[in-house]
Structure 1
């Protein structure tokens, strides 16, 4: 008689449906939130493109030093924390060929799903009020974050005028929240 009850219990369609929905829900939750990334760090160390190292300054035809031909910092700032503890600095750099890169230096933040680097016109505000503003105005996604630690370069598309943007955000595109951001102060 005991095995008859077990057989009836397992054949009820609602129990099987609940189990299938529960397993699917757990699978979707794991995919969407990717909690294991909180324990996985990815360090990327890139050199600044076009950096020229010389032992003596270059000289012009008259024997006087020539102006530097390497990268030139146009703006920079320090990252502040938003959704996750974030530190490091950001520089907007013009390279010798006239192209521009956003450089993250000594970045240290949490890893997460679908993290991107945004160049934006939004003001950087501390606290929860600053978490969700970076996709409200004008912004350019410079691509996926290469690593949650280290120093990295993100090339600006040729048609982007860097003077129109005032901040950089480490942005979680999946949850529309900033992990951290920096105001770009012109130098």
Structure 2
């Protein structure tokens, strides 16, 4: 009789351990999203002529995918991305649009896809954000794609002169994928 009870406890223990492993594997997959290491999302946006809130919808003759001219746009600052936790390259530019709005434009971006990567402006330089975004960082939104050219609207009233870098920051793991020091544009 004690041998039978011992066998039942072993089966119960094995089932409990297996259930625990299944739950842990599910949580691990949800948290780390390992398939993102093998996927790419390419986004290629034209530089807008005006801020998204003031732009009118395209006419029926104009394709929404057609590049819009950026007449009156002025580069304010730019810099090249440096690699932090993931290989990252490309250019970050702050641009004043004709209507006075501002965007952060990422060009020729190449980085890894990640589970929760966001675009920030930071008051710290690109080297310092490896250890954190610092006080006063402004989130511009989720990274639209890990490849290509994309625009992020800078909130109205943001003083761009306070920011030293553009950062691709993984919220889930609190790490910088890469960052670009923003230096005053020539001209």
TM range (shorter): 0.7 to 0.9
2:93 and 2:160 mapped to 1: Cα distance? 12
TM-score normalized by structure 2? Answer: 0.82
Structure 2 counterpart of 1:90: 92
Task: Give 1:6-25 correspondences, 5 Å limit.
Answer: 8-9=7-8, 12-25=11-24
Task: Give 1:1-187 correspondences, 5 Å limit.
Answer: 8-9=7-8, 12-50=11-49, 52=69, 69-125=71-127, 130-134=129-133, 136-187=134-185
Q: How many residues align?
A: 164
Unpaired runs of at least 5, structure 1 = 54-68
Give secondary structure in 2 for the equivalent of 1:26: helix
Deviation at 1:97, TM superposition (A): 0.4
Contact 1:124 1:130 in 2 (8 A): yes
Deviation at 1:18, TM superposition (A): 1.1
Deviation at 1:15, TM superposition (A): 2.1
TM-score normalized by structure 1? Answer: 0.82
Unpaired runs of at least 5, structure 2 = 50-67
Give secondary structure in 2 for the equivalent of 1:79: strand
Deviation at 1:160, TM superposition (A): 1.6
1:160 and 1:175 mapped to 2: Cα distance? 27
Give secondary structure in 2 for the equivalent of 1:150: strand
Structure 2 counterpart of 1:56: none
Deviations 1:80-135 (A, max 9, x none): 0000000000000000000000000000001011000011101111xxx652322x
- Between structure 1 and structure 2, the one with the greater Rg is 1
2:73 and 2:42 mapped to 1: Cα distance? 24
The two structures, once aligned, show a CA RMSD in angstroms of 2.0
Deviation at 1:29, TM superposition (A): 0.4
